[in-house]
Every structure is written in structure tokens, then in C-alpha cells.
């Protein structure tokens, strides 16, 4: 259950129970980047739950940053 009250359905690996992807929300399927074989082409541009990040973590200018659950 998200902070917004929305039910999140996540699909997990049957062997290790790691979250792989979630059902579409607003037309978007969210795939966990760490489940991909090659992540060299990825650059995250949206960051959530940043209020619990380590002090040494920084984000690029122009990225979307949310301290908690994004609105909507």
C-alpha cells in the first residue's frame, strides 16, 4: 500500500523474491533497473523517497525529486 492509499501490485522473482516490475499505473510499467542485464544506457531522472537518502547522494540538475511518494 502506497502512502497515497493506492494499492501497488508488484511482480517478484519466484527464486529470490526481488521486485522485478509492477502493474501499469497511468500507462507506465515500472521495471526495476537492477533487474536488467545491461544498465549502462540508463540515467535515472526521477528520484523518490529522497528524504531518506544518504548525505553524499546528489542528483543532476533538472531531475524530478520527491521527498516521499509523488503526487497523483
Summarised one tens digit per residue, pLDDT across range 38-69 is: 889 888 888 989 999 999 999 999 999 999 98
pLDDT higher than threshold 70 for residue 21: yes
The confidence score (pLDDT) of residue 5 equals 79
Q: Which is more confidently placed, 33 or 49?
A: 49
The confidence score (pLDDT) of residue 72 equals 67
- Nearest one of 27, 35, 29 to 9, comparing CA atoms: 29
Please state, in angstroms and rounded to a whole number, the distance separating the CA atoms of residues 61 and 46: 11
pTM to 2 decimals?
0.56
Average pLDDT over the chain reads 85
C-alpha distances in Å from residue 32, one per residue of 17, 56, 61 = 13, 23, 23
Amino acid at each position: 500500500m502506497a502512502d497515497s492509499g493506492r494499492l501497488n501490485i508488484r511482480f517478484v522473482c519466484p527464486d529470490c523474491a526481488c521486485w522485478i516490475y509492477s502493474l501499469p499505473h497511468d500507462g507506465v510499467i515500472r521495471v526495476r533497473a537492477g533487474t536488467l542485464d545491461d544498465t549502462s544506457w540508463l540515467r535515472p531522472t526521477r528520484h523518490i523517497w529522497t528524504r531518506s537518502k544518504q548525505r553524499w547522494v546528489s542528483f543532476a540538475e533538472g531531475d524530478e525529486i520527491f521527498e516521499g511518494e509523488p503526487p497523483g
